Amino acid sequence: MTERILIKNLSALEDGPVRVAGWVETVRDQKKVQFIVLRDETGSVQLVNPATRELNDEDADSATKLEITEAISGLAQGSFVSIEGDLKHDERVKLGGIEIKIRSLTIASEAIPETPIASDSSSDKRMDWRFLDLRRPEQNLVFRIQTTFEHALRTYWIEHDFIEVHTPKLMASPSESRAELFELEYFDTKAYLAQSPQFFKQMAQSAGFGAIFEIAPAFRADPSFTSRHATEFTSVDAEISWVDSHEDVMKLHEELLVAGFTAVKEKHGAAIKELFDIDLEVPTVPFPRIPLAEAKQIVADRGYEIPRADADMDPEGERQIAAYVKETYGHDFVFLTDYASSIRPFYHMRHADNPELTNSYDLIYNGVEISTGAQREHRIDILIEQAKDKGMEPEELDFYLDFFRYGVPTHGGFGMGLARVLMLMLHQQSIREVTYLFRSPTRLMP
């Protein structure tokens, strides 16, 4: 059998025999001629078949032609077929200026004619039928972009001597807080699903790994239904040794994002414009940095009062500060820095001259938090004090505290939600649109 050609590569070929395979998008069955639009994972192409409606003694091939015609007449949208035929360039063909005249057709799998979802189906219905929803070209592009983005991050990390780690997702203790924790039976004891790789990325610092990264699932038993929360999400994590402050972490973070966005723009910029009508911008460095207290004042001056002054920015506050940053610096990203220790985890280093503040940041992109980063407290006595300060029992954390008892460099890092980056990059309403299979308090299927 001739080699299968991806549809995107057809236009570069000369007229002649080809084989393509994919699923049937539409069939137009006219009396004298039949048209199929066939789509594969790279694009769509028009197939044409001059219809043979009855046997003709003068044509030795008429039985085969009749069979093909009848097969096409009965083809349901969504069926997967393989076609051999003759490629012809023809400017009059609207779809890419090429057409394939069918010589043979093999049906790999017939679809049920009634498709369960349509373009106006609700998001929930589409999620129920995610495999069909994913056939949309926009969805296909999302996951190509994700692949390119992750590849670019990995390339950056490898070029900068990072080590990739795979930390366990089954844990004996919570990694972030007692809230939002999935607990499960683990033989005759309890286990928890990792909320982040936090403790184990810090362990790598004590192990002398220097700089590490991980892209892996994280779990949060978050009962809320928002556009930015999932109960399982892909977390992009990095941790580096020998930082002087969170500034070193932010520098890494922005360089990494520039690498990711540059690769996505180069490879998919035209498709993003075509399918999402977005001119993707590669951010410039340095990203603006604003201390959280100052950001809250800016937002207040714009007339928005954050509901709890002692708390984190709320979503509207994030939108307001992003609007300010866009107007003032023309930038889509902003680091909000120096969060109050009262709203940060015990492992964040506090300011030497003001323990009320931490060496930490959140990164906001197009008005939504995509990441948290910090310099970590590496001095065991202070770390224990900070844990107690947060009402934690140091005994429970002993395995973690050991990492700091046998020598550890200064260090810091960040965790970033992959789906949030994609959602904001592609102006989507929710992370569920850019998550392969979304998990929420009420969604465990498919």
**Binding residues for ligand AMO, per CB under 6 A?**
176, 196, 198, 220, 222, 229-230, 233, 235, 369-374, 413-417, 420
What gap in Å lies between CA 436 and CA 297, rounded to an integer? 39
Find the shortest distance in angstroms from Cβ 32 to ligand AMO: 55
Radius of gyration of the chain (CA): 27
End-to-end distance of the chain based on CA atoms, in angstroms?
36
Nearer to ligand AMO, 217 or 269 (CB): 217
Nearer to ligand AMO, 47 or 421 (CB): 421
Of 300, 328, 330, 296, give the one whose Cα is nearest residue 313: 296
- The annotation status of 418 as a binding-site residue, yes or no, is yes
Nearer to ligand AMO, 52 or 358 (CB): 358
- The annotation status of 228 as a binding-site residue, yes or no, is no
- The annotation status of 420 as a binding-site residue, yes or no, is yes
Nearer to ligand AMO, 44 or 341 (CB): 341
Nearer to ligand AMO, 20 or 249 (CB): 249
- The annotation status of 443 as a binding-site residue, yes or no, is no
In sequence order, what are the beta bridge partners of 373?
361, 414
At 284, the amino acid letter reads: T
Find the shortest distance in angstroms from Cβ 416 to ligand AMO: 6
Nearer to ligand AMO, 181 or 374 (CB): 374
Task: For 156, list phi and psi in degrees, rounded to 5.
Answer: -60, -50
Helix, coil or strand: residue 73: helix
C-alpha 209, offset from chain centre: 27
What gap in Å lies between CA 36 and CA 285, rounded to an integer? 48
What gap in Å lies between CA 118 and CA 86, rounded to an integer? 32
Buried b (16+ CB within 10 A) or exposed e, 322-354: bebbbeeeebbbbbbbbbbbeebbbbbbbeeee
Q: How far is CA 217 from CA 196, 197, 230, 438, in A?
A: 8, 9, 11, 12
In 30-162, beta strands by DSSP E: 33-40, 43-50, 80-89, 98-109
Nearer to ligand AMO, 86 or 176 (CB): 176
Give the residue at shortest CB distance from ligand AMO: 417
- The annotation status of 417 as a binding-site residue, yes or no, is yes
What gap in Å lies between CA 103 and CA 65, rounded to an integer? 8
Nearer to ligand AMO, 213 or 276 (CB): 213
Find the shortest distance in angstroms from Cβ 183 to ligand AMO: 17
- The annotation status of 419 as a binding-site residue, yes or no, is yes
What gap in Å lies between CA 238 and CA 257, rounded to an integer? 12
Binding-site annotation: residue ranges: 176, 220, 369, 372, 376, 417-420
Binding-site annotation: residue ranges for ATP: 369, 417-420
Binding-site annotation: residue ranges for L-aspartate: 176, 220, 372, 376
